[in-house]
Structure 1
Amino acid sequence: MRMEVSHTFAICAYKESAYLEECIQSIRKQSLKTNIIMITSTENDFLKGISDKFEIPLYINRGERGITQDWNFAYQKANTDYVTIAHQDDVYFKDYAKYVVKYLEKQGDALIYFTDYAEIRDNKIIRSNKLLRIKRLMLYPLRFSMFWGSRFVRRRILSFGSPICCPSVTLVKKNLPSIIWEKGFRSNEDWEAWEKISKMRGKFIYNREILVGHRIHEGSETSIIIKDGVRTQEDYIMFRKFWPSFIAKILTRLYAKSEESNQI
């Protein structure tokens, strides 16, 4: 019974996403059934209707709004050991939850668990492109379980960018603080969180199976942020956590070129 209640998908929903039902359906079709909740700070009839249709509890964040505030709110509303903050535009392949429990039940000191992912463009699943290959290369050391607990290895990986797919991450609540994401970032809130957690004692568990489909489209927050230049500013802030200024500037320019893959 425990395996059925140890994990929660906490869906962060905003306004009226055309992809929300597809996200929910992918979660409902998991080979291991888990808890599902939905949170929003943009309360509306559309989301209430979705909540009623799929019988998913809907929690309204009536406090401070923002991406990080909503993610923290969702994290705190989940009452299970393992929590995945699901993004409304993305999908989870059927064995995602099964592997979460399979890996984490064996690793009592895990901090986060995450998987490889594919991109969804024009409703087509793209399992390999230049950006995905680069991220897989960056994560190569974590294919080996001997490095899961190495703070040195994961900080070296993060010092060159964030190859960790945010919606693929499951957080282990008992080993983490109550606030995961800090205010102030619009684009690199996930990278900032992994950098902070990377300093802690415990494991970053990487499953190289492709278990998440991350949607790239013009309406996504990532695409909007790249267009208005916020991402580049935040990239520099993050690189400065690892490198002196002149190296951080070089890496920021190189990273900006890779972000072109997120443009439609």
Structure 2
Amino acid sequence: MKYGNEDHTFVICAYKESPYLEDCIRSVTGQTVCSSVIIVTSTPNTFIRKTADKYQIPLICNHGEAGIAGDWNFAIETAKTPLVTIAHQDDIYGRHYLEAVLQTASFCSHPLILFTDYDELRGGKIVRGNRLLRVKRLMLSPLKIKACRRSIWVRRRILSMGSAICCPSVTIVKKNVSLPVFENNMKSNIDWQAWEKLSREKGEFAYIPSALMLHRIHRDSTTSQLLEKDQRRVEDLYMYRKFWPEWIAGIIEHFYQSAEKSNEINGKL
């Protein structure tokens, strides 16, 4: 199937008063191929309304299920196009992100999700490689082979070693996946759990091995807060048990936790 810009929506999830929201908006509206853009929020306030008005972007409030999963499912539901990218308000998309996604989707037979590589943004500086990024790129490397995109076994082996797919880099093909995509039983690994569920379905995980977005790491991010509270370890173990016996899950979690500490804002790169 041929996909065009009319088939895609960026849905920006805005929360409270992020100083990075405008950077995200400018990145999705400045794509080489333009598509629809919507802002959704469960925390409506004057700041978000004024920002949406400034860029003439529709603002839709979520008065339904609370929590991250509720917000993300609402974002997917709100978009009326077959392709949806849930844009996190702190992140920045490269100008060629959507162009690459549309081209890749058009060459797939039955895509479930499409996602790109990414770099990190720390303190205003772009980090193109650290231990965690290198590990994730190695984990995803089998998906560079088109035949592996359709392999349930390959996808599950990748996910069994950790969450290598960067959530804001993902574009979801609504008509090809089971809805709702996200479950509201976690805080940190909501996306990993969703990819695990989708990995069981027939279709393609289309990986674009180019860093086409910047994932911002800062102390106020949900992931950084959860790492400090040690909540991430509990959720990681829960996910590893979906793939491995208890004793193996514990060993893998130990090594993955060490790599994840590079997410800490003061950690060494």
Q: TM-score range by the shorter chain?
A: over 0.9
Q: Is the 8 A contact 1:76 1:178 kept in 2?
A: no
Over 2 Å off, 4+ runs = none
Aligned to 2:177: 176
Q: Is the 8 A contact 2:3 2:106 kept in 1?
A: no
Long gaps (5+) in structure 1: none
Please list, as runs of the form range in 1=range in 2, the aligned pairs for 1:63-142 lying within 5 A after superposition: 63-142=64-143
The CA deviation at 1:259 is: 1.4
Aligned to 1:155: 156
User: How far apart in 1 are the matches of 2:170 and 2:58?
Assistant: 22
1:202-245 CA distance string (max 9 Å, x none) = 00000001101000000111100111111000000000000000
User: How far apart in 1 are the matches of 2:48 and 2:174?
Assistant: 27
**Is the aligned partner of 1:242 residue 2:246?**
no
User: How far apart in 1 are the matches of 2:5 and 2:154?
Assistant: 33
Q: Is the 8 A contact 2:3 2:105 kept in 1?
A: no
Letter paired with 2:7: S
The CA deviation at 1:68 is: 0.3
The CA deviation at 1:64 is: 2.1
The percent of aligned pairs where both chains have the same amino acid is 50
1:53-100 CA distance string (max 9 Å, x none) = 011111101112100000000010001111000000000000000011
Instruction: Please state whether the residue corresponding to 2:193 is helix, strand or coil.
Output: helix
Aligned to 1:189: 190
Q: CA RMSD in A?
A: 1.1
Q: Is the 8 A contact 1:26 1:91 kept in 2?
A: yes
* 97-106 vs 195-204, which moves further: 97-106
User: How far apart in 2 are the matches of 1:64 and 1:204?
Assistant: 28
* 42-51 vs 252-261, which moves further: 252-261
**Is the aligned partner of 1:145 residue 2:160?**
no
The CA deviation at 1:2 is: 6.6
Instruction: Please state whether the residue corresponding to 1:214 is helix, strand or coil.
Output: strand
**Is the aligned partner of 1:208 residue 2:209?**
yes
TM-score (norm 2): 0.96
Instruction: Please state whether the residue corresponding to 2:15 is helix, strand or coil.
Output: coil
User: How far apart in 1 are the matches of 2:211 and 2:168?
Assistant: 12
Aligned length: 264
Letter paired with 2:211: I
Aligned to 2:61: 60
The CA deviation at 1:23 is: 0.5
Please list, as runs of the form range in 1=range in 2, the aligned pairs for 1:31-46 lying within 5 A after superposition: 31-46=32-47
User: How far apart in 2 are the matches of 1:171 and 1:152?
Assistant: 20
Instruction: Please state whether the residue corresponding to 1:213 is helix, strand or coil.
Output: strand
User: How far apart in 2 are the matches of 1:261 and 1:2?
Assistant: 37
User: How far apart in 2 are the matches of 1:216 and 1:183?
Assistant: 23
